[in-house]
Structure 1
């Protein structure tokens, strides 16, 4: 690494947005955060850029941004984005002292320019620190407007990101409770999913027409449930927030249901084949427009077989 030259002004503009947004100080079990860094040229002349280094303050302080195991990664269309250490061979930019996570974006083509089309650099898998406060991402660019005449000093700027105190989980953050398919054949599979934080305990409830898959628990945190179904079933997703229980529902229909009992108070019409595997008790008249065939006998109330008269 060469001796640091005085820092210059950047030729490009930078903006950072977090996903999810807004950015909250991390809580127990919080998922990783993604940062999108938008690089643009606000001037009238083309800017040639071959390298940009982003330094994210690391630690557990209010001014720290990340506090993970430095396991994030990055990407950008047409660029190589990698996490680096200050002593990496070939590094010709002096990095700040202290605890940082450094990401370097490089373009091998020195003729690649930034004009009307900008660059979006995405940093994934970042663990945000737990203390609310404002952190500053340090940015060092190697860029020029005169191709072939690269400056001896880098352009330097910072982008401030505020980590807000983590709020109580809002009820609306749990949503989109649904079945992968709204209809299933009797005995078919059901796959339920929903959106929400993985720090909550969710309970899936249902009637006797559904059954959990082997190994599937009904109280879970991983935002999915698998099972089977034999008849129309409404599934209930319940969870507790702020000492109150909340509920979402979704229904899966079955066109060929299996029923444990059925009472019909009105007329019942069967347009297809009717198979009765057990006894059939009829208290009214049985009428048929076609022949009635039996493999046994029709019996009178005394159990005597009936004989029809031949015409």
Structure 2
């Protein structure tokens, strides 16, 4: 009879034997000293029968994990080990069962009442039902009983599962929308269903003896996020609330949440940009989580944009926009647009305020206020106030106020050009390469390559604010010049043409309604090649003509007449 007491516990109990995929089991050998004296053991050997028969514990001894666990630390600093004994031969070849042996370099003292556990863990249980006999060989001594080997027999039961076991997904992690397959083993005399998270139960299919499977048979059952399934096994006639219940979880790589999710903030994986949720919306931060980050989008459709810099590859649609710099392909802002600089292909806004430069291909706004506006295509606005305007075509329903205007075509109700800082309101520069049509235009210098048409008066002032040239349609004359008028190609007026000196005295006029054509009270000097007088001409002073003089009507000259070329009298 052994000096120590031995017992065995199986996990699960009994061990499950089945064909196909084997069940996993563990056996614990409990060792204790029930005596009133100390027992010193030199070795404890556990023989394990291997194979696939009814009396075999497992078919593969190499996967068994042996472990020794004392109730209390061993006395005297002992540190025994528990492992495979290679001296016993290889199971199946030597014809002998394999063995695991516990031993130390010297005897191990076990005081009265002490205990330890010798475990054989996580082995595949052999597939046939039966009783497995484990042989324990004890080499120990104590009290008056000398050292001698003493054998002990322990029995472990293997039995086919009476309840479902090994409930598992074929793949524990799948892509969204990928089909899920659940597998398990169990007795064929039970009815199996799978309960979904909403409580709905789905029927299952039998693959073979003791083998079962479930797969979703409709798109609504395919999981969009991590889902836990419950296997329910019931006997015939068993109440709905009773049975065997097992659960398993399938994980989705990219989950979807139909009703949203809650989090204080969300951070990227490789790029550590962070989105923080606030009471008014979200805050975009850089990788540090402190500095403000950038937003890059193909299309942005928002009610209000307030940011340091906005870069939108596609169109931007917003109620209001407030940014330091806006770079986008197309911007549509229902309310005001406020920016440091703006660079867009097309701008449509109720009100645009740009502290720096506005660069666009097309712009249509109710009111434009900018430092400098450069529009490659047409600019249409209700009112425009800019330091410098450079555009292909400008259409302003209200008033245009700017320092410098350079456009191909200008259509406006009223145009004010302020020029350089510190100069008067009507002392800027306007350069037109096409056509200019305005209700009222006041400028210091104007160059028109095409045609200039004004529906109202046209005035030119000097730096002191004195009018030099004006057109007043309500008066009997059409053009009044108080200074010097230079015409490169030709000058045509539908009304009279008047010239005054610096004191305001009239000295030259053309009055088509009168019998004479031109009346000159001062000196008339023609630097051009020819002078042609069609009507009656009165000159109070001298006449100087560098080229030829053609008189088709009559000419009355009060002073000298100097003609550089020929004098011809027509009929």
Cα distance, 1:69–1:298 mapped onto 2, change above 3 Å: same
Instruction: For residues 205-229 of structure 1, give each alpha carbon's deviation from its aligned partner in whole angstroms, at most 9, with x where no partner exists.
Output: 333xx69xxxxxxxxxx97635134
Matched, 1:278 2:301: yes
Cα distance, 1:136–1:273 mapped onto 2, change above 3 Å: closer
Q: Distance in 1 between matches of 2:282 and 2:59?
A: 68
CA RMSD in angstroms comes to: 4.4
Matched, 1:115 2:112: yes
Whether contact under 8 Å (1:55, 1:102) holds in the other structure is: yes
Q: Which residue of 2 aligns with 1:126?
A: 123
Q: Which has the larger radius of gyration?
A: 2
The CA deviation at 1:162 is 0.7
Q: 2:160 aligns with which of 156, 161, 165?
A: 165
The CA deviation at 1:130 is 1.2
Cα distance, 1:197–1:294 mapped onto 2, change above 3 Å: same
Q: TM-score, normalised by structure 1?
A: 0.55
The CA deviation at 1:63 is 2.1
Cα distance, 1:141–1:22 mapped onto 2, change above 3 Å: same
Q: Which residue of 2 aligns with 1:156?
A: 151
Instruction: For residues 13-68 of structure 1, give each alpha carbon's deviation from its aligned partner in whole angstroms, at most 9, with x where no partner exists.
Output: 11111223331114422353222111011222221111011112222222222222
Q: Which residue of 2 aligns with 1:84?
A: 85
Q: Structure 1: 5+ residue runs without aligned partners?
A: 1-8, 89-96, 180-194, 212-221, 235-251, 258-268, 281-285, 287-291
Instruction: For residues 103-131 of structure 1, give each alpha carbon's deviation from its aligned partner in whole angstroms, at most 9, with x where no partner exists.
Output: 11113232522432211111124232111
- Structure holding more strand per residue: 2
Cα distance, 1:304–1:102 mapped onto 2, change above 3 Å: closer
Q: Map 1:32-47; keep pairs closer than 5 Å.
A: 32-47=24-39
Q: Distance in 2 between matches of 1:122 and 1:109?
A: 22
Matched, 1:106 2:132: no
Q: Map 1:1-311; keep pairs closer than 5 Å.
A: 9-77=1-69, 78-85=79-86, 87=88, 98-146=95-143, 150-151=146-147, 153-167=148-162, 169=164, 205-207=222-224, 225=251, 227-229=253-255, 232=257, 253-255=261-263, 271-272=280-281, 277-278=300-301, 293-295=336-338, 297-298=349-350, 305=366
Q: Distance in 2 between matches of 1:44 and 1:196?
A: 53
Q: TM-score, normalised by structure 2?
A: 0.32
Structure scoring higher RCO (CA < 8 A, sep ≥ 6) equals 1
Q: Structure 2: 5+ residue runs without aligned partners?
A: 70-78, 174-181, 186-210, 216-220, 227-247, 267-277, 284-294, 304-318, 320-334, 339-347, 352-363, 368-381, 384-571
> 1:297 aligns to what SS in structure 2?
strand
Aligned residues: 220
Instruction: For residues 130-169 of structure 1, give each alpha carbon's deviation from its aligned partner in whole angstroms, at most 9, with x where no partner exists.
Output: 111111111110111149x742x31111111110112352
